[in-house]
Chain A
Amino acid sequence: GAVVSQHPSRVICKSGTSVKIECRSLDFQATTMFWYRQFPKKSLMLMATSNEGSKATYEQGVEKDKFLINHASLTLSTLTVTSAHPEDSSFYICSARDLRRGNQPQHFGDGTRLSIL
């Protein structure tokens, strides 16, 4: 079946550094990818919708300069957390929608645990 690969699965870095997270659709083309953030023991919060070849659409309250999203191809979207601080520590999950299957649900990656020291 369709698979979404998210990398890295875990990253620990110092405050002030920038971190890039990749989301790849492995065996299907995804015009639309979604980025979610999940706080401990909380639900998934939609951060932004990433459309191939155009600017991402950010949800209210999400800083677009803080969370840079690039969706340069039909199989890859990246989320860059710029100048990360401890409050950015969280579990980030991406998902992708299969172009060929318009009414099918999104496929989720396994998430990236980001820890900022």
Chain B
Amino acid sequence: AQSVTQPDIHITVSEGASLELRCNYSYGATPYLFWYVQSPGQGLQLLLKYFSGDTLVQGIKGFEAEFKRSQSSFNLRKPSVHWSDAAEYFCAVGRDMRFGAGTRLTVKP
């Protein structure tokens, strides 16, 4: 069965610092992988997705993610975090979109 794990419940970084959010998945074949962001009380916004091809995926708002089959991971990165990036981030796997538990990002001034 498909499953996705986000090991970090809450991460705090300083504004301008780099960011990496972890995502590990369990899937029988090459998975469809997604990262979404959710601001408080809002819906979901797609940051990026991976279906096949280049394992380094560029997304919106300066985010990128790298698919590593050997590690079953799809970590989200951003080189320099802005205060507006504070939100909840969800990794999802599969066409029926199974979500991880989410990682809440806090940005310190």
Q: Does A113 contact B (CB under 8 A)?
A: yes
Cα A36 to Cα B43 in complex, Å, equals: 11
Task: Name the contact of B49 in the complex, choosing from A34, A42, A95, A105 (C-beta under 8 A).
Answer: A105
Q: Does A116 contact B (CB under 8 A)?
A: no
Listed in ascending order, the chain B residues whose CB lies under 8 Å from chain A are 32, 34, 36, 41-44, 46, 49, 51, 90, 95-102, 104
Q: A93-B43, A105-B49 are in contact. Are A43 and B96 (CB under 8 A)?
A: no
Q: Are B43 and A43 in contact (CB under 8 A)?
A: no
A contacts with B: majority SS: strand
Count of chain A residues near B, Cβ 8 A: 22
Q: Does A46 contact B (CB under 8 A)?
A: yes
Listed in ascending order, the chain A residues whose CB lies under 8 Å from chain B are 6, 34, 36, 41-46, 49, 91, 93, 95, 97, 103, 105-106, 108-111, 113
Chain B CB within 10 Å — which of A44, A46, A108, A110 has the most?
A44
Q: How many A-B residue pairs have CB under 8 A?
A: 45
The 4 lowest CB-CB distance pairs between A and B, nearest first, are A110-B43, A108-B44, A44-B99, A43-B101
Q: Are B102 and A43 in contact (CB under 8 A)?
A: yes
Task: Name the contact of B99 in the complex, choosing from A43, A103, A109 (C-beta under 8 A).
Answer: A43
Cα A36 to Cα B104 in complex, Å, equals: 19
Closest residue of A by beta carbon distance from B4: A43
Chain B proximity of A93: nearest CB distance (Å): 6
Q: Are A43 and B100 in contact (CB under 8 A)?
A: yes
